[in-house]
Amino acid sequence: MAESEIDLAIIGSGAAGIAAGIYAARRSLKTRIFEKEALGGQTALAIWVENYPGFKKIKGEELMQQWAEHLKEFGLEAEEANGVAEIKKIAGKFELLLDSKEKVQAKAVLIATGTENKRLGIPREKELYGKGVSYCANCDGPFYKGKKVAVIGAGNSGVTNALYLNEMCKKTYLVEFLPQPNCDEIYLPQLEKSGIEALYNSELTEIKGEKRVKSLVVKDRATGKGKEIAVDGVFIYVGLSPRNELAKKLGCELDEKGFVKINGKNETSVKGVFVAGDLGSGALAQTVWAAGDGAKAALAVYDYIRKL
């Protein structure tokens, strides 16, 4: 039976949350890690990770499993499918109601809920989610074997996911708003010879289909003309949106894009509430950076609790 009076509640088990857990446990803070979904955050959704120093090329999910094993060395495990439903600050402490209905009291909270892929907000995007509209090629890609797909956004996520989908799909389109791709140069030669049909300076304005995605309307931004392309699936990678619900409930100050404002010690505007990783206003969407930020935050929490 896990303890319900703890020092630190870490919310989220992506790179920031797990790294923070390793550091907190090593400092013997009574810590629990709550995860609404599955372990590993955005990193676990990446097909391949090639830029976390020490691992030349590893599947995102596998990397995060190794981190979870590392965390276990210090007696700590992320509690999957057990998110924080409610959170309140009462008399200087935090009361959390978990999805499991358990109540937990913590001296400090570290929110590391990160981001999710941004929604475009275009017609039929919401209605066709799970019916051809996806934000995770790694999760849903295999359903599109031998079919036609489009990836929206040519940043690193968009390009690497397009390359992945293109290995199994009959046809892959890549639609980018800017006049050129915005990914690491290292992917450009691969993209060039992949056979992916890239539409730059182009905007997805509408998704069509009744029960499932049938086609996309893509506007050429130079001419203003739209054309319809037939696809079975569309994977959207147009940036990240902060998962700030819990921070908002606690009254943390946000920046104009909805990320949580923090200082150099990862402190938010609410005493005892810390933020690490991509939920913070410095969000970089890089595993190694988020991990470093989580480690830093855990050490700051340790100092905070020691001084209580």
Binding site for a copy of itself (CB under 8 A): 15, 18-19, 22-23, 25-28, 50-56, 63, 66-67, 69-70, 73-74, 184-186, 264, 282, 284, 286, 288-293, 295-296, 299
Residue closer to a copy of itself, measured from CB, 26 or 119: 26
- The smaller minimum CB distance to a copy of itself, of residues 51 and 269, is found at 51
Copy the structure tokens of residue 126.
Answer: 């919401």
- Sign for the CA dihedral angle at 129, 36, 280, 54 comes to negative
Q: Are 78 and 65 in contact (CB under 8 A)?
A: no
**DSSP assignments along 34-51, one per residue:** E-SS-TTHHHHH-SEE--
Q: At 299, give phi and psi (nearest 5°).
A: -65, -35
| Residues 122 and 219: beta-carbon distance below 8 Å | no
3-state percent breakdown (helix, strand, coil) of the chain, nearest 5? 30, 30, 45
From 280, 251, 249, 284, select the one nearest 265 (Cα to Cα): 280
Identify which of residues 96 and 276 has a Cβ nearer to a copy of itself in the complex: 276
Residue number with CB closer to a copy of itself (237 or 302): 302
Minimum distance, C-beta of residue 157 to a copy of itself, in the bound complex (Å): 14
Structure tokens at 65: 């499993």
**Three-class DSSP labels, 119-172:** CCCCCCCCCCECCCEECCHHHHHHHHCCCEEEEECCCHHHHHHHHHHHCCCCEE
| Shortest Cβ 48–a copy of itself spacing (Å) | 13
CB of residue 83 vs a copy of itself: minimum separation in angstroms?
A: 22
- C-beta separation of 225 from 246 below 8 A: no
CA 248 from centre of chain = 18
Report the nearest approach of a copy of itself to the CB of residue 74 (Å): 7
**In the complex with a copy of itself, which residue's Cβ is closer, 100 or 194?**
194
- The tally of CA atoms less than 13 A away on the side-chain side of residue 10 is 35
Distance in Å, CB of 187 to a copy of itself, minimum = 9
Query: Min. distance of Cβ 10 from a copy of itself in angstroms?
Result: 14
CB of 300 to a copy of itself, least distance (A): 10
Distance CA 276, CA 6 (A): 19
Minimum separation from the CB atom of position 29 to a copy of itself (A): 9
Query: 45 or 64: whose CB is closer to a copy of itself?
Result: 64
Q: Which is nearer to a copy of itself, 130 or 264 (CB)?
A: 264
> Which of 246/297 has CB closer to a copy of itself?
297
Tokens of 54: 């020490």
